[in-house]
Amino acid sequence: MSRALDFLRASQNADGGWGYKTGGMSFVEPTSAALLALTIDAQAASHVQRARAFLKSIQRADGGWGIAAPDDASGWMTAWAVWALAASEANDAARRGVDWLLESAGIRVTDPNQVAHVQKTLRIDARITGWSWQPNDAAWIFPTALSLLALDAVNVREHPRVREGIQYLLDRAIPTGGWNIGNPFMVSGNLPPTVENTSLALMALRAFDIENEITVRAQKYLARENFTVTAFEWAWRAWYWKKMDAPTKGAHAALETLQRADGSWDGNPFTTAIALMSVK
Amino acid sequence: MKSISRRSLLRLALGGGILAGGAVIYKQTESVGLDKWMRWMLRGQTARLNPPARVALASVASYDDDVLSAIRTLWRDANAPDLANARVVLKPNLVDSIPERPCYTMPQVTEALIQFLRDEIQVKALVVAEGMTFRRDPHAILIETGYREMLERQRVEFVDLNYDDLVKIPLRGGYAKMDSLFMARTVAEADALISIPKLKTHHWTKISGSIKNLFGIVPGAKYGFPKNTLHMHGIDAFLAELLDSLPTPKRFALVDGIVGLQGDGPLFGAPVPSGALIGGQDFLAVDATAARLMGFDPTTIEILAFMAWAGLGQIDVNRIQVRGAALNELKRNYELAPTL
């Protein structure tokens, strides 16, 4: 863990942010994840301050965040920034981000014919929406689960958008367990679940005390052992199990074997921050 | 009252006809703007005067065959660009890896192309790059498809285009009502882009070839997974923008049709042994030839027909010189994907 913290501290860019690779352009997502991971690290106080300053400096006038400084439109990474800033200090920037989140939503289908067609081809209720990656798009699992976690972090738990976001996640679950990126079915078959979407959706539902057959099936998917071993997959599983207070010994042993000499996983500050959150 | 002469009547009718025709064209083009419509149409007409496109076919029965030799011959037959000392990005289709579904470009094709470009063409630098569509992390796909092992063997770097540094490029066409687009720096600053798609059917665009494969060069970090934000601009229109605005000065397409995918594409279709590689500089001509090889008439595939009308390449069989293996011998009748 200390080597991973060393890597994160060393890979912070001069502007205070982190990229998806050492020396890469600073993005809001890896910066927010690193900020969440480093709040436990007493030696990282100055890094945390610089990260907060970076995030605040690129907040847009509408209260949201683009994905990086050059991005001139607010989108899904707003949820990361709100979560990270709210977790590290209560501030006006996070509150303005919350307002943006509550105002934004994925496309909602209301035409009955279209609703029926979408139900047939994708097996979803298109009247229910969550959050999208970018404005004017359909909703997807990752930004929806992330927005719910951000809103939980600022204690927004009873808002209608929150209730609909939870319904969205439950509606889009794959019947056999877990979540793909959005719809569970496409034309002729169920889509396969993905580990990051399933972990994040489960974390979001857990934050709002939702436990049912859908979450149990998804947990079984995450617990399966026949998957391709990557640091990213193990990091997301381990973070979820940590949140659940479930045993993480096996995941941590796997992560240890995948950790690089520089202390990172995949040389990627984002993956490293996710892995670190499973031990904090 | 003075009666109107026959000549005046004809003039009036002609003037009225021109006005009515203009009104119809204006109405038909209102959504995109008459100026753009005229520009696209004129370029499409001018393209008929351009030299024919060259497309090469190579017959390769299996991935265990000598793919390198086939590429060497195809490269010459296709009149490929001079890439000596060029910085080259190879962009295979690694959309996902699903057991028994040949939905991705096989590593044998990419590996043979790496060897050819590095050892024989002597490019300055090359990377393999992709921005996956459905999974946020590339490593599992790289392992499952055999790419990680191949890249380690060839000592070639993989660049994840979903998280690369961003460059904003201007969009020239005006098809998708977007002025600019974020693109991965690795692609934006390369001398050449080689699109290496899988030959397959697709439920939105009928076929997925070298042009559809370009979706992988835009960053998922910005446009999401599966980059649906860009679909909202209209898939045909957005792909026309990408093709028209590619920042790399040189380009080439090499389609992996050794085993293609038919039916429920782009992911869940069935394998079709087609035994073909298709190559060329004109992506539209390459995709049109790929469509013919799959038994489809490219002029009936909206996305290809639109781009041809707008002058982004050739699809007319009389405007494409096919060299190498005989198309009729490689042709198979692919089953279309079910439409959504």
* Together in a domain, A48 and A184: no
Burial class (CB in 10 A: 0-12, 13-18, 19+), A268: buried
Domain count along chain A: 2
> Can you count the helices (H) and strands (E) in chain B?
13, 12
Mutation target to probe the B interface, by most B beta carbons within 10 A, among A134, A180, A237, A274 is: A134
Amino acid at B114: I
CATH 2.60.420 is held by the domain B52-330: no
* Together in a domain, A83 and A113: no
The distance from CA A138 to its chain's CA centroid, rounded to whole angstroms, is 17
Query: What residues are paired with B198 via a beta bridge?
Result: B256
Structure confidence at residue A272 (pLDDT): 98
Burial class (CB in 10 A: 0-12, 13-18, 19+), B5: exposed
Of the partner residues B143, B163, B226, the one whose CB lies closest to the CB of residue A181: B226
Beta strand ranges found along B60-157 (DSSP E): 87-92, 125-130
Structure confidence at residue A227 (pLDDT): 87
Residue A28 belongs to what domain range?
Answer: 1-101+229-280
Of A187, A205, A224, which closes a domain?
A224
Residues of B in contact with A76 (CB under 8 A): 224
Sign of CA dihedral B319, B323, B327, B330: negative
B337, two tokens: 């994907």
Distance CA B150, CA B92 (A): 13
Is B204 touching A (CB cutoff 8 A)? no
pLDDT tens per residue across span B140-184: 999 999 999 999 999 999 999 999 999 999 998 888 888 899 999
Structure confidence at residue B37 (pLDDT): 82
Structure confidence at residue B110 (pLDDT): 98
Give CA torsion, residues A35, A41, A46, A47, to 10 deg: -40
Identify the CA nearest to B275 among candidates B126, B76, B89, B62: B62
B31 pLDDT exceeds 70?
A: no
Is B222 touching A (CB cutoff 8 A)? yes
Distance CA B60, CA B273 (A): 10
Structure confidence at residue B12 (pLDDT): 85
123-182 of B, contacting A, C-beta below 8 A = 134-137, 139-140, 143-144, 160, 163-166, 168, 182
Q: Chain A closest CA to B208's CA: distance in Å?
A: 17
Distance CA B254, CA B78 (A): 10
- The confidence band for B193, taking pLDDT boundaries of 50, 70 and 90, is very high
User: What ipTM did this prediction achieve?
Assistant: 0.95
Give the H or E element holding residue A11.
none
pLDDT tens per residue across span B235-282: 888 999 999 999 999 999 999 999 999 998 898 899 999 999 999 999
Q: Which residue of B has its CA nearest to A131?
A: B224
CB pairs under 8 A between A and B: 93
Q: Which residue of B has its CA nearest to A228?
A: B140
Of the partner residues B139, B224, B340, the one whose CB lies closest to the CB of residue A230: B139
* Together in a domain, A254 and A204: no
B13, two tokens: 């009718």
Q: Which residue of B has its CA nearest to A74?
A: B222
Identify the CA nearest to A155 among candidates A59, A90, A240: A90
Of A183, A202, A224, which closes a domain?
A224
Residue-wise over B285-316: b if at least 16 C-beta within 10 A, else e? Answer: bbbbbbbbbbebebeebebbbbbbbbbbbbbe
Structure confidence at residue B1 (pLDDT): 58
Of the partner residues B143, B168, B268, the one whose CB lies closest to the CB of residue A189: B268
Residues of B in contact with A20 (CB under 8 A): 160, 163, 221
Of the partner residues A27, A132, A230, the one whose CB lies closest to the CB of residue B140: A230
> Can you count the helices (H) and strands (E) in chain A?
13, 2
Query: What is the residue extent of each domain of chain B?
Result: 52-330
Ordered per-residue pLDDT tens for chain A, 280 residues: 889 999 999 999 999 999 999 999 999 999 999 999 998 777 889 999 999 999 999 999 999 999 999 999 999 999 999 999 997 765 899 999 999 999 999 999 999 999 999 998 889 999 999 999 999 899 999 999 999 999 999 999 999 999 999 999 999 999 999 999 999 988 777 888 999 999 999 999 999 999 999 999 999 999 988 889 999 999 999 999 999 988 888 899 999 999 999 999 999 999 999 999 998 7
Of the partner residues A181, A189, A232, the one whose CB lies closest to the CB of residue B137: A232
Q: Are the C-beta atoms of A233 and B144 separated by less than 8 Å?
A: no
Identify the CA nearest to B65 among candidates B13, B28, B108: B108
Distance CA B213, CA B196 (A): 8
Distance CA B254, CA B77 (A): 12
Structure confidence at residue B340 (pLDDT): 64
Average pLDDT, chain B: 93
Give the H or E element holding residue A79.
helix A77-88
Residues of B in contact with A196 (CB under 8 A): 135-137
Of A179, A201, A224, which closes a domain?
A224
Which residues does A196 contact at the CB level (< 8 Å), separation at least 6? A142, A232, A236, B135, B136, B137
Residues of B in contact with A67 (CB under 8 A): 166, 221-222
Beta strand ranges found along chain A (DSSP E): 185-186, 189-190
* Together in a domain, A217 and A116: yes
Is A41 touching B (CB cutoff 8 A)? no
Sign of CA dihedral A265, A269, A273, A279: positive
Greatest pairwise CA separation for chain B in angstroms: 94
Structure confidence at residue B219 (pLDDT): 97
Amino acid at A144: T
Sign of CA dihedral A22, B228, A239, A233: negative
Q: Do B264 and A188 touch (CB under 8 A)?
A: yes
pLDDT tens per residue across span B85-127: 999 999 999 999 988 899 999 999 999 999 999 999 999 999 9
B26 pLDDT exceeds 80?
A: no
B49 pLDDT exceeds 90?
A: no
Q: Do B222 and A75 touch (CB under 8 A)?
A: yes
Give CA torsion, residues A280, B164, A195, A265, to 10 deg: -40
Give the H or E element holding residue B111.
helix B107-115
Distance CA B181, CA B165 (A): 13
* Together in a domain, A236 and A216: no
